[in-house]
Amino acid sequence: MEGKILKILVVNAGSSSLKYQLIDMENESVLAKGNCEQIGTESTFTHKVPSDETKNIKALPMEMQDHAAALKIVLDTLVDAEHGVIGSVKEIDAVGHRVLHGGEKFSGSVLVDDKVEEAIKECFDLGPLHNPANLTGIKACQKIMPGVPQVAVFDTGFHQTMPDYAYMYALPYEYYEKYGIRRYGFHGTSHRFVSKKCIELLGNPEHSKIVTCHLGNGSSISAVVDGKCFDTTMGVTPLEGIMMGTRCGSIDPAIVPIIMKKENLTPDEMDTVMNKKSGMLGLCGTSDNRTIESRAKEGDKRAKLIESMLCHQLTKYIGGYAAAMGGLDAIVFTGGIGENNPQYRDRVCDKLKFMGVEINYEINDKLKRGPEGEISTPNSKVKVYVICTNEELMIARDTKEIVEAL
Please give the Cα distance from 377 to 216 (Å, whole number). 26
Residues 6+ apart with CB under 8 A from 231: 162, 166, 222, 223, 321, 324
Give 308-364 as a 3 state SS string.
HHHHHHHHHHHHHHHHHHCCCCEEEEEHHHHHHCHHHHHHHHHHCHHHCCCECHHHH
221, with CB counted inside 10 A (0-12, 13-18, 19+), is buried
365 is catalytic: no
Please give the Cα distance from 67 to 57 (Å, whole number). 19
249, with CB counted inside 10 A (0-12, 13-18, 19+), is buried
Strands 7-13 and 94-99, by their bridges, are parallel
Out of 24, 125, 155, 329, which one is annotated catalytic?
A: 155
Nearest CA-CA partner of 117 in 99, 104, 129, 130 = 99
Nearest CA-CA partner of 149 in 95, 109, 190, 106 = 95
Please give the Cα distance from 277 to 264 (Å, whole number). 16
Residues in the chain: 406
Active site (catalytic) residues:
155
